[in-house]
Structure 1
Amino acid sequence: MPSFLDFCFEFKSKENPTTSTMFRFEDHYFVPDGATGNPRIQHAFNIIGPEEDRRHDSLNPWPIRHTSLYHSFDLAQARSAWIAIKGNRVVRERLTSTGKSLQHELSRAHTAQEQATAMFAFSLSTHVQILEWCTEGWSGYIDYLEERVRKHATAIKLAPVEALSRKPPRKKFQPHPGPNPTATGLSHFSARSNGPQPLGIGGRIRSNLSRMASGFSGHSRTNTVTDVHNPTGLPDDKTAEDDAEQLDSIFAFDDLQRIRQVTDDAEQAGMILKENQRIIVAIQSRYRDLNSALNTGHINTRCNNLDLGSIEALVTGFARQLSVFQADLESYEARVQLLLRSLERNEDMFQGILQYGNMRVGEYYARSAETSAETMEKWTVAMHQIAAETEHETVSMHGITVLTLIFLPGTFVSVRASFDL
């Protein structure tokens, strides 16, 4: 059967495992008289399934592996041939176990017809043993996929996203109180002038200057700078950063990548399950066609050793067993589809959480910018007030200077006169 080479070529170095199956058959039910050979059935197929890798250092505890098989059964001589290609000894051990049971059945057969029936039963039981392999590991493999995303799915469903991305607490921005801008030279001058004054013209002049200075600077003013408060305050950067880091530690982009990887593996598993079901249906159909051909006489008289009644019963039981395998694969496929829907919801929710976090971060920075602008506006108003007060004090100092220049000669004369006395 040359087409079997297509299955052999699947065993090669590749990055991703084989996920597609094939079924090829070249049955020869009718052999013309005088031609060599006997009527036979022959087909080749491959099946795929997960196998648990029990090594502790294995990076992939559930690798996907495939098996290619060729089978031929001579209907006239009741001889069976198998060729199995697989990367380990699992299928070989199954074939060996089935062969031992065949030897026991042949030892109990007394006629050629019983031996032919036993060989045909061996052919069907070998199919059952091999096809059973592609249904055994799926439960553990699906559990493995679910476990890979269980932690992330729990975080997505139960994490306090609103609390982690809440509005950052704010504190009032209180500038450090500096010196009172009104405490200028005028106030010091006024303070020094409040002490005991000497008698005489000089003392009276200094007393008058002190009262004038008090009149210029005696306007009650509040400290505009130290009284400037931000009613909303600036954001607490440390708390906001801690919340952002905590949110990022729970919902990292790597988690989204892991969910996507599990989604890809689950989609691959769903396709493989469908492919295996297709192979089972094809084999089931081929043997039902064989049973019909035997009953309708479409196979020539070289197959007289076969007991048609026993063959029909064996094929019926074989088809029933394959239906059980197909039902198992359908059940596993339903689990995979449920997992895919759950992964899709988790991925949508994860992306929604990331978008919500980005939105809250944007709101936080917008509030920070608005608060900073309001604070700068208040500082600008305060600086304008300080500038106005400074201008007022400059006028006061100018007046004091003029008065000082007016009374300075008289003061000099009075002081000189007092020394002469």
Structure 2
Amino acid sequence: MAYLFTYHQVMARFLDFWCSFKFRETSHSFTHFQNEDYLGSQHHQPGLIPMGRSGIRIQHCFNILGIERSRDNKGWELRQTAAYHSYDLIEGRALWVVLKGDNTMRRRLETTTEESIKKGDAPLQSVHASFAQTLTDHLLIMQWCVENWESYAEGLERKYASLSGVADHAPVDDLADDIAIIKQHEKVDITPGSPLKQQTSGLEKSPESPGFARRLSMKVTGLSTVTQVEPPPRKVEHVRMEGLVQFDELQSLSSLAKSLGEAVSAITQNRRVLAQIREYYRELVNSEGFKRHVPKSTMKLCKQAASEFAMKIGRLEDDLANYEGNLKTILHGVERTETMYNGILQYQSMRTAKYFAESSEKSTEIMKGWTQEMHEKTMSMHVITVFTLIFLPGTFVATIFSSGIISFGQDGGPGFGSAMGAWKVRLAALKLFASVLYISQGPVTY
């Protein structure tokens, strides 16, 4: 290969394109156009005439990107084609070196050349015919970078449509309202002993009467239980807000956006290379070097061929621009859907936080009510205790005197006035009272 490149004086910059064809994990994604022309009088080399070359030549190299089916035919892959071209303006001889990973370009060039010969076109030995043929070969190579983009864009659009339905049509507000309803149902499920109050057609269904233990607890504590209202039915069945957006869908959207970005970049670079080649030939046929070496009789035909060539390249650029616009539209839709998905997740977090904040506020209000009720009951107990302490000594004394342990008067008389007499204490009764009092208090330990 080094010998062939040296023999044909291939420009050194083409080696950069040559070296880009290697095993790689990701597709090659850059395009370039380089040219080196030798049209000055000093570039004429008489020693090359026996080899059919004069040394007066134009040469350039470029690469373009295209989309093709993968080897397993299950997806698409971004691939490149690189080409080197030189053309001798004196001898009318052209050289092509085309690099591609398969035989697509070789078959196309061979088929086109054979068809041109069969049609009996102008002899390729003439400068005009050979120059026009090189332009046709350029178009044949450049046509490849315009193919398959429509099918590729349609596939990406179908994939995007399958991912954007949730963001475009999901009842997000209804699902957000169901967050509180679902939480209430879960709370009822984990507290089966809580009384429920059902509301049907405006009529309340009384809860079942609490058991004896619960009634006794309510009487002792003075606290009433909280009656839970049965939650209303969900607005959207079988779907939850947290299940609306799955992480694998976000990953698929990200992968789709990456593929679209790569496709847009490839088309943009192809358009740039095509525009550079079009501008290059437009300037070439009007340059002094080209006029110096091309006969005037042929100049007009070469300019006409270059004009038609530029027009055809413009059509290819328009096709690429249409595909680029379509892909950008899909890309904007993917970015919008990603924004919608992120908005749904944020809205879900906001509504969930709102529910818990409201639940916390309700719980706080309930606790405040219980605290106030406990405070009132405690004050009542304090009042009862004070009055008990006030009346307890009198009750104790009245009990002592009414029991007959201590008596006044004589012979059981009323004991008033002068007949009151002295106190009489019944020691046996007093001992019995002291024994009962001691037993009821229990032994005192220190």
1:104–1:376 CA distance, 2 compared to 1 (3 A):
same
1:353–1:111 CA distance, 2 compared to 1 (3 A):
closer
Alignment check: 8 A CA contact 2:45 2:55 kept = no
Whole-Å separation in 1 of the counterparts to 2:380 and 2:210: 18
* 1:351 is aligned to 2:345: no
The 3-state SS of whatever aligns with 1:136 is coil
Tell me the residue number matched to 2:31.
21
Letter in 1 for 2:81: T
Whole-Å separation in 1 of the counterparts to 2:214 and 2:268: 85
Q: CA deviation at 1:289?
A: 2.2
Identity %: 29
Letter in 1 for 2:253: I
- 1:29-50: CA deviation from partner (whole Å, max 9, x where unpaired): 2343665433211110000111
Q: CA deviation at 1:382?
A: 5.8
TM-score by length of 2: 0.68
The runs of 5 or more residues in structure 1 that have no matched partner are 185-220, 410-421
TM-score by length of 1: 0.72
Q: CA deviation at 1:387?
A: 7.0
Letter in 2 for 1:40: R
Alignment check: 8 A CA contact 1:235 1:368 kept = no
Q: CA deviation at 1:155?
A: 1.1
Deviates more, 1:377-386 or 1:336-345: 377-386
The 3-state SS of whatever aligns with 2:145 is helix
Alignment check: 8 A CA contact 1:52 1:62 kept = yes
Whole-Å separation in 2 of the counterparts to 1:181 and 1:389: 22
Whole-Å separation in 2 of the counterparts to 1:257 and 1:126: 43
The one of the two structures with greater contact order (alpha-carbon pairs below 8 A, sep at least 6) is 1
Tell me the residue number matched to 1:11.
21
- 1:135-161: CA deviation from partner (whole Å, max 9, x where unpaired): 112112222222222122121011100
* 1:174 is aligned to 2:195: yes
Q: CA deviation at 1:253?
A: 3.0
1:341–1:96 CA distance, 2 compared to 1 (3 A):
same
Alignment check: 8 A CA contact 1:51 1:137 kept = yes
Whole-Å separation in 1 of the counterparts to 2:154 and 2:63: 25
Alignment check: 8 A CA contact 2:40 2:289 kept = no
Q: CA deviation at 1:267?
A: 2.3
Whole-Å separation in 1 of the counterparts to 2:96 and 2:281: 17
* 1:328 is aligned to 2:319: yes
The runs of 5 or more residues in structure 2 that have no matched partner are 1-10, 48-53, 189-193, 197-208, 405-446
Q: CA deviation at 1:2?
A: 0.8
- May I ask how many residue pairs the two structures share in their alignment? 360
Whole-Å separation in 2 of the counterparts to 1:182 and 1:346: 57
Tell me the residue number matched to 1:97.
111
1:13–1:109 CA distance, 2 compared to 1 (3 A):
closer
Tell me the residue number matched to 2:76.
62
Whole-Å separation in 2 of the counterparts to 1:264 and 1:380: 60
Q: CA deviation at 1:377?
A: 4.0
- 1:159-212: CA deviation from partner (whole Å, max 9, x where unpaired): 10011111523478528824267769xxxxxxxxxxxxxxxxxxxxxxxxxxxx
Alignment check: 8 A CA contact 1:47 1:279 kept = yes
- 1:289-322: CA deviation from partner (whole Å, max 9, x where unpaired): 23213xx565544x55983232222211111100
The 3-state SS of whatever aligns with 2:12 is coil
Alignment check: 8 A CA contact 2:92 2:125 kept = no
Whole-Å separation in 2 of the counterparts to 1:93 and 1:407: 133
* 1:267 is aligned to 2:261: yes
Alignment check: 8 A CA contact 2:291 2:299 kept = no
